[in-house]
Amino acid sequence: MKVTQLDCLCVILLHLLHTAGSEKFEVLGPTDPIVAVAGDDIILPCYLKPNISAEDMTVDWLNLDFKDSRVYRYQNHRIIRDYQIPYYRGRTSLFEEELWRGNTSLKLTRVQGTDEGRYKCFIKAKSWYDDFTIQVLVKAVGSKPVVSIEGHREGGMGLLCESEGWHPEPELAWLDSKGVHLSAGPPETHRDFKGFYRVKQHVIVQETDTNRFTCRVQQSRINEKMETEVHLPSELFDYATPLRMAFIVLCCLGAVTVIGLALAIYCICNQKDYLKKEKDEIMEEKGK
């Protein structure tokens, strides 16, 4: 049987079509967001359909919320560490022993606040590629609020409340014994290099029948709340505020001044009586 050039061309085309068809795949993963607890290890599921081998493919994991977005790259049977986001160094890995069956999931260890975001699992073969995006939310419950007494302030007693280690950013509020919100200064928020939030807020409180005040820190998205109650002894309020202190000092100075003037007048009067008596005695002696 004679093989013509046309036959060869057909065979090549069929082979190419078969090869291209065999590389076609879908990249799949979870549709719901993954909620990660800070400090834990998590897995971002990603796999190929059909379950063909990804060993000869390029596997890219990207964080779409970063400008330089590379979280992890597997290419040519090895890990490529160039241009990796510094936050992820030493904390990311694939299940390389399962690449042969299309498992391209990413393991992320020691989750921190900066890990929250949108992750893309991008798989590229020689003639085909596909990707899937996963949303990661990070949950971190911070420390119990710490309340400190700052001393007398205008019109009352100054208090400070602080709490740290939260994600997402929490809200801080001051309450009286009846749960009514107190008027306080603006909250101060700071974010550390791992993406966790620290909040603090000052308040000036007046003396009440209970002298009990509560600092509450809460994060509605993760449904977490922590409180610290402080009781101020009445004696703290008995001590004068700066204005009252000034008034008392002035009263004391006034009293000392009055007493001093009274003593001075008394001494002058006594001196006059003494001089008059002495004068009378002299005149009496001259008359004799």
- For residue 99, the enclosing domain spans 26-138
Would you say residue 111 has pLDDT above 90?
A: yes
The contacts found for 223-231 with CB under 8 angstroms, 24 or more apart, are 224/139, 224/141, 226/141, 226/142, 226/143, 226/144, 226/145, 226/163, 227/145, 228/144, 228/145, 228/146, 228/147, 228/161, 230/147, 230/149, 230/159
Give the residue from 198, 216, 238 where a domain finishes. Answer: 238
Q: Please tell me the total count of domains within the chain.
A: 2
88 and 47 both lie in a single domain: yes
113 and 163 both lie in a single domain: no
- The predicted pLDDT at position 234 comes to 86
Would you say residue 229 has pLDDT above 80?
A: yes
Would you say residue 53 has pLDDT above 90?
A: yes
Distance between CA 124 and CA 127 in Å, rounded? 8
- The predicted pLDDT at position 122 comes to 98
Would you say residue 1 has pLDDT above 80?
A: no
Q: What does the pLDDT look like over 153-188, one tens digit per residue?
A: 887 999 999 999 999 999 999 999 999 999 999 999
Give the residue from 113, 138, 163 where a domain finishes. Answer: 138
181 and 161 both lie in a single domain: yes
- The predicted pLDDT at position 21 comes to 44
Mean pLDDT taken over the chain: 86
120 and 35 both lie in a single domain: yes
Q: What does the pLDDT look like over 17-46, one tens digit per residue?
A: 344 445 699 999 999 999 999 999 999 999
128 and 151 both lie in a single domain: no
- The predicted pLDDT at position 126 comes to 93
- The predicted pLDDT at position 275 comes to 60
List the CATH number of the domain containing 199.
2.60.40.10
Higher local confidence (pLDDT), 146 or 238? 146
- The predicted pLDDT at position 68 comes to 83
Residue 254 lies in a domain: no
**How does DSSP assign the chain, residue by residue?**
-PPPHHHHHHHHHHHHHHHHHHH--EEE--SSPEEEETTS-EEE--EEES----TTSEEEEEETTSSS-EEEEEETTEE--TT--GGGTTTEEE-GGGGGGTB--EEE-S--GGG-EEEEEEEE-SS-EEEEEEEEEEEB--PPPEEEEEEEETTEEEEEEEEEEEBS--EEEEE-TTSPBPP-PPPEEEE-TTS-EEEEEEEEE---SS-EEEEEEEETTTTEEEEEEEE--HHHHHSPPHHHHHHHHHHHHHHHHHHHHHHHHHHHHHHHHHHHHHHHHHHHHHH-
Residue 221 lies in a domain: yes
- The predicted pLDDT at position 176 comes to 95
